[in-house]
Structure 1
Amino acid sequence: MRIIAGSARGRVLKSFRGPGVRPTTDRVRESWFAIVGARVVDARFLDLYAGTGAVGIEALSRGAARCVFVEKSRQGVAVIRENLRMLGDLPDDAVAVRLGDALAAPALLAQQGETFDLVFADPPYEDGEAPRAVLAALAAVPTLLAPDALVTIQHSRRVPLPEVSGSLRRQSERVYGDTQLSFYKVETE
């Protein structure tokens, strides 16, 4: 795995093995960043089920102002911190790495006053309920999302997600082999 573009372009990321660990491929990551384009610059980014931190680190490399990584594995958190070191000195408020449950994180982050422009969630494929659960957890805390926020759920294409979940409405989907990206935005009335 490597950083595809931005200030850290070409740098190789460390990874780890573990149950349910399936890093987002370079191809899917590159496609996702092509879709979001310039929205990443100065964005507040939330990386749920962060794993190695590849997606959030790519966002920082491409100009995101802040990234919060949430990962339940201690080994994953250690790898994220190690991978972040290669970015060099970042402002103290640019990064937060949280050890914890991605389903509980949206409510906790909202209580702490966090708001995000971009959210990327990559729950384990073997847990077929996790994509719907994280979507519902995000939709349940509307203050967590900026008015024009884009939420992306990476999941198996065999696990369909609803068109609407709370205040979130699906805008589009992209399929890459068994991987599907489902894009949601806050529905305004």
Structure 2
Amino acid sequence: MRIIAGKFKGRRLKTPKTSAIRPTIDRVKESVFRILQNQITNAKFLDLCAGSGSIGLEAISRGAESVTFVDRHSDAIQLIRCNLHLCGLDTKIHQIQLRKSSVQKAIKVLGNKSESYDLIYFDPPYDSRIYEGSLRLISENQLLSRSGLICVECSQTNKKIVEVLQLGVGDLRPYNQKCYGDTMLFFYKLEDKS
């Protein structure tokens, strides 16, 4: 696992030793950042179900202003800390936050602090049942800035989730989707209310 582009290009990252953490494959990561490339510079980036941290680290490498990593697993938080260290990044110096929390709790806490993000990446375990509820909370807590984008990663074999994601949730409207083998990516913007 490596960083694909930017100031940390080619940097090798530590991989998880547990099957509970499933890193996004490089081909999918490349596609995500090709689509987000015009929005990444100086963006506030939220990495939900961050796992190894490779997506958030890619965002930092490509010029994101700040990144908040959220994962409920202690192993994942330790792995993210290790990968930050491998890149020479320090949460005390750089605008980086680590939150050991469930996604839904983190969304509520961040919403209560009136945080908003330009880019949100959401990659829960493929068999998870938190997709719709978490997106609804993101919408209700106004975590996405007006011109912000959300990317959601899921398995195309989970037809029920795919159907929900194709329709949108709350005021989040899908505007693009991509498929790479078993992996599907859905991209959302806020509904234009004008």
Give the equivalent residue in structure 2 for 1:107. 108
Give the equivalent residue in structure 2 for 1:47. 47
Give the equivalent residue in structure 2 for 1:177. 181
Counterpart Cα distance in 1 of 2:166 and 2:105 = 21
SS in 2 for 1:104: helix
* Pairwise CA RMSD: 1.4
Give the equivalent residue in structure 1 for 2:148. 149
Counterpart Cα distance in 2 of 1:21 and 1:131 = 17
Equivalent residues of 1:45, 1:64 under 8 A apart: yes
Gaps spanning 5+ residues in structure 2: where? none
Report how many residues are paired. Answer: 187
Equivalent residues of 1:118, 1:150 under 8 A apart: yes
1:56-92 CA-to-partner distances (Å, cap 9, x unmatched) read 0000000000000001110110110110112225573
1:117-171 CA-to-partner distances (Å, cap 9, x unmatched) read 00001000122x22223222212212x1110110111001123124221110111
**Aligned AA (1:176):** Y
Pick which of 16-25 and 66-75 moved more.
16-25
Pick which of 159-168 and 57-66 moved more.
159-168
**Aligned AA (1:152):** C
Percent identical across equivalent pairs? Answer: 37
1:35-56 CA-to-partner distances (Å, cap 9, x unmatched) read 1112101000000000000000
Residues 1-80 of structure 1 aligned to structure 2 (within 5 Å): 1-80=1-80
C-alpha change, 1:103 and 1:162, in structure 2 (3 Å) is: farther
Equivalent residues of 1:115, 1:145 under 8 A apart: yes
Counterpart Cα distance in 1 of 2:71 and 2:189 = 23
1:94-139 CA-to-partner distances (Å, cap 9, x unmatched) read 1001100012211211212321000001000122x22223222212
Deviation at 1:182, TM superposition (A): 0.5
SS in 1 for 2:103: coil
Counterpart Cα distance in 1 of 2:146 and 2:94 = 22
TM-score by length of 2: 0.91
Counterpart Cα distance in 2 of 1:8 and 1:164 = 34
Counterpart pick for 2:168 among 164, 178, 182: 164
Give the equivalent residue in structure 2 for 1:140. 140
Counterpart Cα distance in 2 of 1:57 and 1:86 = 11
